[in-house]
Amino acid sequence: MSSTLPQSLRMTEASENELVETYQHLHAHPELSMQEHGTADYLAQRLQALGLEVFRCGGTGVVGILRNGEGPVVGLRADTDGLPVLEDTGLDYASSATGTLEDGTEVPVMHACGHDTHMATALKTAELYAAATDAWAGTIVFVLQPGEETAAGAKAMVEDGLWDRAPKPEIMFGQHVMGGPAGTVTLMPGAAMTTADSFKVTVMGQGSHGSMPEHSIDPIVLAASMVVRLQTIVSRQVAPQSAAVVTVGSFHAGLKENVIPDRAVFTLNVRTFDPAVRETVLTSIRRIIAGEAAASGAPEPVIEDVSNFPPLYNDPEAAEALAAEFRDELGAEQVIAGTPVMGSEDFGALADAIGVPSVFWFFGGFTAETLAAGPAPANHSPFFGPVAQPTLTTGVTAATRALFSQVGKR
């Protein structure tokens, strides 16, 4: 285990106040996935002012490299995108931003998943390390990644030559704010988050007047049968000991009550941990959709990929070592041994691209009083507003200690 963080890598009261101001600014100015142009400008300017080497990558991604002599290379990732959610937190710094979806629809935008906290803590961590070069040695690569919500960002950065343009880290770290108690961190070795696959299914039928159903192949009835049958995959084709989720998240068909439409469209989201279970579920989905269409005499439906999140796997040895670091830094009672969650992240793609280990942890964002009154607002909720402190300070401390475990002078 490395020694405790030196005083030069700890925040002063003034520094903590500035951290909160940064967070509030970022919270008030969210941008949609892969459209984070203003955010990227802001992040690049902040990192350049600290003396880091900065370059753009993957469109709206930003990479900052802090070199400090010979030593290990370690990476820290923070994601940058907001969500099409209308904020209802009542915060003084609540977002009033809007954005435009791919289909041209204008929507409200909110940092409903806490990526503002991730950026703010990463910037402060970079500031601390840039000002304390006598306390460590090596290279830190700050990866400020766009498009996490759509699984596009990590892939875009890797394909844009991230690891050809930046030093390759020996390990990648990342963190995420969640609805737990502020001041705590949660970490689990091994499988941490699921693979997630999303699809758009277009079911073709034959339109007709509502009074003449015999001349139709009703795509609403057909698609509804698919939706019901798809729910039997987990209950009847996956072993009870295995985890899987199949969700139909949207269903659209028709424009008028007395017109049988010629098509229906629904979207699917699938979450699994085990590759074999994933293959079973995906194969079953295609078989059921094709089979139901054939039974109705309809053309074979079109299934299109929407997004694919890789699994998130924490290297067991590195995760156990980091948990010990956190217990030493924060206190054993503040470090929670977590269990795998069914959410998904594209963080793992960054380390997988170069075959290095990675560790991802969560930090809590809500007060004991809030949690005592009931469950905290979930990520992606319009009410998701983590308390600024000690949430932000804990995020900075965890990130700083994780990096120090690799680059700290012994």
- % of the chain surpassing 90 pLDDT: 98
pLDDT beyond 90 at 131: yes
pLDDT beyond 60 at 2: no
Question: What would the pLDDT profile of 275-306 be if each residue is shown by its tens digit?
Answer: 999 999 999 999 999 999 999 999 999 999 99
Share the mean pLDDT of the chain: 96
Q: What is the pLDDT of residue 1?
A: 43
Identify any residues that bridge with 107 across adjacent strands, giving them in sequence order.
99
Per-residue pLDDT band at 410 (split at 50, 70, 90): low
Question: What would the pLDDT profile of 333-386 be if each residue is shown by its tens digit?
Answer: 999 999 999 999 999 999 999 999 999 999 999 999 999 999 999 999 999 999
**Cβ partners under 8 Å of residue 236, min gap 6:** none
Q: Is the pTM of this model over 0.85?
A: yes
Conformation bin of residue 161: beta by default, left when phi > 0, alpha when psi is -120 to 50:
left
* For residues 112-123, average pLDDT: 98
Q: Is 134 exposed, middle or buried (0-12, 13-18, 19+ CB in 10 A)?
A: exposed
- DSSP secondary structure, 258-278, as one string: TEE-SEEEEEEEEEESSHHHH
Per-residue pLDDT band at 409 (split at 50, 70, 90): confident
The 3-state DSSP class for residue 318 equals: helix
Tell me if 340 sits within 8 A of 188, measured CB to CB.
Answer: yes
Helices 13-28, 115-131: inter-axial angle, 10-degree rounding: 140
Torsion of CA 336, 340, 343, 346, to 10 degrees: 90
